[in-house]
């Protein structure tokens, strides 16, 4: 069941998203990671870990267009 919360990450480089999407096309079950800018823990992920059985929606804006959401993923 989809979690009733979502995560928003502001300012991801488009090239990083393109690389992730290329890998996911070939290997849809491949686990991918985004390296946080800060060393701080993302509390929402730590306390509410997504899984295949209970995914979380992820919204992303890019560095060139911070005001708009460009991608929506399910975190598993």
Q: Tell me which residue range forms the domain holding 11.
A: 6-75
Domains identified in the chain, total number = 1
Query: Does 24 reside within a domain?
Result: yes
Query: Does 10 reside within a domain?
Result: yes
Q: Residue 11: helix, strand or coil by DSSP?
A: strand
pTM, 2 dp: 0.71
pLDDT per residue, tens digit, the chain (76 aa), is: 888 888 888 888 889 888 988 998 999 888 887 776 777 777 877 887 888 888 888 888 888 888 888 766 666 6
- CA 59 to each of CA 26, 34, 49, 53: distance values in angstroms, whole numbers, following the listed order: 22, 13, 16, 19
């Amino acid at each position: 069941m989809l979690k009733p919360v979502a995560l928003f990450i502001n300012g991801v480089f488009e090239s990083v998203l393109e690389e992730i999407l290329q890998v996911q096309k070939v290997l849809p079950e491949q686990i991918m990671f985004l390296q946080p800018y800060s060393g701080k823990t993302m509390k929402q992920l730590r306390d509410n870990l997504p899984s295949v059985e209970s995914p979380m929606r992820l919204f992303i804006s890019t560095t060139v267009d911070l005001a708009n959401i460009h991608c929506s993923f399910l975190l598993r």
